[in-house]
């Protein structure tokens, strides 16, 4: 994968200016294979030290990407990627700030995104890695079900302007997922039931998607799209605090 980067310039002292990594053009990346082994690699990477405090774990990332696909959220990669590594605005975390590590990490995230799209559009739909219950989860800091729901709601907070035009079933599905974002249980034995409920909610949202809106990829890949960061009153009025400090009474 070739990453765009700014041409190096020189300071007056003659030293080269550091390379600035730019958002990827997902449209040019083509199909990126992603398997359970790749999920484990991404999960282990996110579990390592050196990330910003607000980086997503694997379960939160999955919920986040599912929401970007299922709603869909009209954001270019430069707007939604920094939340993955826990930074606001376009800046690459020091953990992945070399061209090689950045390219590898982006390929994993994009491959994950594409595999989730395949699973959501399969007939019948296939459960996602975390909601399937068989995936490793080394990067988690609290209950996987709450982390997944938090990631989903984080994406909706970035662009939930369409909630008022959606059906009562979709609004109820969003409310169901929001409920699990504040679940206080840390017992992993509760994940199967939570995963089933959230899978059902996601499919309600996907099947009731407005006909003019394709599933995720086209909207997410268009670099000309602007950022819409408004929050619909229906969501803003609810207790949907995002971040580990607000979920399940846990913090780092």
Return all residues near 146 (Cβ < 8 A) that are at least 6 apart: 180, 181, 182, 183, 184, 185, 247, 248
Structure tokens at 104: 């590898």
pLDDT in tens, 118-151: 999 998 889 999 999 878 899 998 899 999 999 9
Total-model pTM: 0.78
pLDDT in tens, 22-74: 999 888 889 999 999 999 999 999 999 999 999 999 999 999 999 999 987 77
């Amino acid at each position: 994968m070739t990453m765009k980067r700014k041409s190096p310039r020189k300071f007056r002292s003659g030293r080269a200016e550091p390379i600035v990594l730019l958002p990827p053009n997902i449209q040019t990346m083509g199909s990126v294979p992603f398997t359970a082994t790749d999920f484990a690699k991404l999960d282990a990477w996110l579990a390592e030290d050196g990330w910003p405090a607000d980086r997503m774990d694997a379960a939160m990332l999955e919920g986040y990407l599912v929401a970007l696909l299922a709603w869909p959220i009209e954001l270019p990669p430069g707007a939604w990627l920094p939340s993955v590594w826990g930074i606001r605005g376009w800046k690459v975390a020091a953990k992945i700030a070399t061209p090689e590590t950045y390219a590898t990490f982006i390929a994993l995230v994009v491959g994950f995104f594409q595999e989730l799209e395949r699973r959501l559009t399969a007939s019948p739909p296939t459960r996602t890695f975390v909601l399937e219950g068989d995936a490793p989860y080394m990067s988690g800091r609290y209950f996987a079900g709450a982390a997944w729901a938090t990631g989903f709601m984080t994406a909706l907070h970035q662009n939930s302007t369409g909630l008022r035009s959606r059906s009562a079933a979709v609004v109820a599905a969003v409310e169901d997922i929001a409920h699990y974002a504040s679940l206080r249980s840390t017992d992993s034995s509760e994940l199967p039931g939570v995963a089933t409920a959230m899978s059902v909610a996601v499919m309600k949202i996907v099947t009731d998607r407005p006909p003019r809106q394709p599933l995720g990829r086209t909207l997410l890949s268009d670099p000309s799209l602007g950022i819409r960061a408004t929050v619909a009153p229906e969501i803003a009025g609810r207790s949907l605090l995002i971040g580990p400090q607000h979920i399940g009474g846990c913090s780092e």
